[in-house]
A and B are shown apart, each in its own frame.
Chain A
Amino acid sequence: MAQVDSKSLEKLIFRLAEPLEVGKVLRQVEIPPDEGDGVLRIILRLDDLDKADTKDLLKFIEAVEDSLIEKDERFPSVRFAEAA
């Protein structure tokens, strides 16, 4: 199964976030280098992370996982960080 390239992944994530609350505070998508362990690490940088609703963030994680399941063999491990 193919692996999604970083640019397509970034576009996909912004598109998924757009209709959600998280879309208003999502600033950057970082894809660290692949470590070959079957995990696709995705770091999402948000404004005011402390104020984000964690239930909304969890729904967003699930949306990212579901959208990638047929496109990428790696498991998408979504993490959040404060925007610089």
Chain B
Amino acid sequence: MASYEREMLVAARILLVRSPNSRGRLPDARVRRSISTTYYALFHFLIEEAGKRLVGADNFLRSRRRILARNFTRSGLKTTFAKIRGQTIDQSVEGFLRGANAGPGRIAAPPFARSFASAFLDAHSKREDADYDRNEFLTAADADILIKRVEAAVQDWNAATDPPASTPCIC
């Protein structure tokens, strides 16, 4: 069975497919729905990963993971990602990412986390305009590039992290 974020990315891409007889620009609604759907693919991927790692990945824990997921906020995620996307991370979170044997001085987030953070902030900024501000210009190219970016972010995350344990961690 396809993961939820994969299903959403497929849906986002279908919105950008032109029918054989269509000409000119894609309808604005399809571009905007695609961007919004792509953002939510990344959002749901992230909170599902967090749930699996904090609650456990077993199927019988799905309901509990979804309760946890309801407590993530966009503003919290935005703030967190803004702190780690730079060449060095914000000093307020250095203690969280500093390894046990690391020396003093500024540290950087792992490359996959930096690129995930930038992809999230990019998707979020475009989703806000797609959903709420029709004066902001967005094109099918923006939607297509965003899908590719989110796909790469998910792929890099999966490549860089171990699969979540099936046994619960904190519950």
Binding site for B on A (CB under 8 A): 32, 37, 39, 41, 43, 49-50, 52, 54-55, 57-58, 61-62, 65, 69-70, 75, 77-82
Contacts and interface: CB of A to CB of B under 8 A. Distances in A.
Given A54-B144, A65-B118, 9 more contacts: A41-B136, A54-B148, A61-B149, A62-B115, A62-B118, A75-B82, A77-B122, A80-B141, A81-B139
7 contacts: A49-B141, A58-B149, A61-B145, A70-B86, A70-B87, A80-B139, A81-B137
B145 A69 contact: no
B56 to A, nearest CB: 34
Nearest to A52: B141
Interface in B71-89: 82, 85-87
Contacts of A55: 148
Given A54-B141, A54-B144, A79 B86 contact: no
A41 B85 CA distance: 18
B137 A75 contact: no
B125 A75 contact: yes
A65 B82 CA distance: 12
Contact of B138 (A50, A61, A79): A79
